[in-house]
């Protein structure tokens, strides 16, 4: 029983073989307790600096399926205010440096998982991923991202598991040499949101390389090229949707003029009418979703929607990642 060598899970670049990880997630879906002794006498810490429903619960369930003890800590509400800057003079509101807290957490846990959102104020700071990188530097145990300032890899692995599962169950999507068409479309929202889910989805679909991948968004909502490179990008949503097999719906704020929301054009909301241009596409969203703002009730409540299945698959994706890290550590 060997892992792939995975020592952390922060980005798709930590994954040796994407298809093997997706396959392992589907193996766990079929047999959740297949490796129930793998994590015996091991503890996993889940630190949240931001709210969560799916990530928080699915990762705990995944850990328990592997026999691990999971401890959740809402560090933003229950912990000391942490300082992350090297050399900081801590005469302000922060009480404890990550340089001191990180090694302690590393003694308590075999795997440390962290959720940290971006500030959306300073692009350079957010894209430096200082918070999660400081935990990696000081904890001394494998770190798993539960969503960081720029990426959400557990979500993206789940998304790929859901796409692969749908392909496996649909003969029409298994045409030899015909890649499925996957469209990532911007959606309206009431406030500026991080770019993490969209960045990460683009990064994973590009790295997977087994799809025709199109990203569509209004002018000035370009994502970081480091993640989108390889995708076709268009501002014409109708053209993008033509012949799509999967449509991933997500809002994000601006990247260039960082963290802004210029417009909230309701025309970008995905509707049943727009889906008529697709190949009876399946619709995905990471949740939580603003109904009738990002996605219409008619789409979310239709057979097009994969969102509940997708959220359910969060357990198997997390389990595949944790088991790989545990097997690598052995
Ligand atoms: N998709 C996702 O990460 O959901 P939560 O914020 O509820 O964890």
**Mean predicted confidence (pLDDT) in 144-162:** 98
**Can you tell me the distance from the alpha carbon of 239 to that of 217, in angstroms, rounded to the nearest whole number?**
12
Average pLDDT, the chain: 96
User: Which pLDDT does position 178 carry in this prediction?
Assistant: 83
User: Which pLDDT does position 124 carry in this prediction?
Assistant: 97
What ligand 1 atom has the least distance to the C-alpha of 287? 1
User: Which pLDDT does position 248 carry in this prediction?
Assistant: 98
User: Which pLDDT does position 177 carry in this prediction?
Assistant: 76
**Can you tell me the distance from the alpha carbon of 267 to that of 186, in angstroms, rounded to the nearest whole number?**
11
Q: Is the pLDDT of residue 152 over 90?
A: yes
Cα of 53 vs centre of ligand 1, distance in Å, is 6
**Mean predicted confidence (pLDDT) in 70-91:** 95
User: Which pLDDT does position 92 carry in this prediction?
Assistant: 96
**Domains observed in the chain:** 12-151+314-329 (3.40.50.1370), 155-312 (3.40.50.1370)
Distances (CA, A) of 194 to 57, 124, 260, 319: 21, 14, 10, 25
Closest by CA to 24, choosing from 152, 197, 182, 160, is 160
**Mean predicted confidence (pLDDT) in 177-197:** 95
**Contact 316/161 with Cβ under 8 angstroms?**
yes
pLDDT, tens digit, for every residue of 251-300?
A: 999 999 999 999 788 999 999 999 999 999 999 999 999 999 999 999 99
**Can you tell me the distance from the alpha carbon of 14 to that of 207, in angstroms, rounded to the nearest whole number?**
12
Q: Is the pLDDT of residue 117 over 90?
A: no
CA dihedral of residues 168, 63, 148, 82 (deg, nearest 10):
180
Tell whether ligand 1 has an atom less than 6 A from the beta carbon of residue 286: yes
Which of 46, 55, 61 has most ligand 1 atoms within 8 Å of its beta carbon, as the pocket-test mutant? 55
User: Which pLDDT does position 163 carry in this prediction?
Assistant: 98
Nearest CA to ligand 1 atom 6: 52
């Amino acid at each position: 029983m060997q892992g792939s060598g995975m020592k952390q899970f922060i980005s798709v670049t930590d994954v040796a073989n994407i298809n093997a990880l997706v396959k392992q997630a589907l193996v766990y879906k079929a047999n959740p307790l297949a490796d129930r002794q793998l994590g015996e006498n091991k503890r996993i810490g889940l630190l949240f600096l931001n709210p969560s429903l799916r990530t928080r619960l699915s990762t705990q369930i995944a850990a328990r399926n592997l026999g691990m003890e999971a401890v959740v800590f809402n560090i933003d509400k229950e912990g000391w205010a942490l300082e992350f800057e090297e050399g900081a003079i801590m005469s302000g509101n922060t009480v404890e440096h990550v340089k001191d807290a990180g090694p302690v957490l590393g003694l308590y846990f075999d795997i440390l998982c962290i959720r940290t959102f971006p500030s959306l104020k300073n692009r350079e700071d957010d894209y430096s991923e200082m918070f999660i990188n400081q935990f990696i530097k000081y904890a001394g145990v494998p770190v798993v991202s539960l969503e960081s300032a720029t990426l959400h890899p557990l979500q993206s692995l789940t998304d790929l598991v859901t796409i692969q599962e749908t392909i496996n169950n649909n003969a029409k999507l298994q045409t030899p040499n015909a890649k499925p068409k996957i469209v990532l479309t911007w959606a309206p929202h009431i406030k500026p949101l991080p770019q993490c889910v969209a960045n990460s989805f683009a990064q994973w679909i590009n790295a997977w390389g087994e799809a025709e991948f199109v990203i569509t968004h209004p002018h000035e909502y370009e994502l970081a090229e480091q993640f989108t490179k390889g995708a076709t990008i268009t501002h014409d949503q109708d053209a993008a949707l033509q012949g799509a097999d999967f449509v991933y719906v997500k809002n994000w704020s601006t990247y260039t003029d960082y963290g802004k929301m210029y417009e909230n054009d309701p025309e970008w909301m995905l509707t049943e009418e727009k889906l008529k241009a697709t190949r009876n596409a399946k619709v995905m969203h990471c949740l939580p979703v603003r109904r009738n703002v990002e996605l219409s009730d008619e789409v979310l409540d239709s057979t097009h929607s994969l969102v509940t299945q997708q959220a359910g698959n969060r357990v198997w994706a997390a389990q595949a990642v944790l088991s790989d890290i545990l097997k690598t550590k052995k």
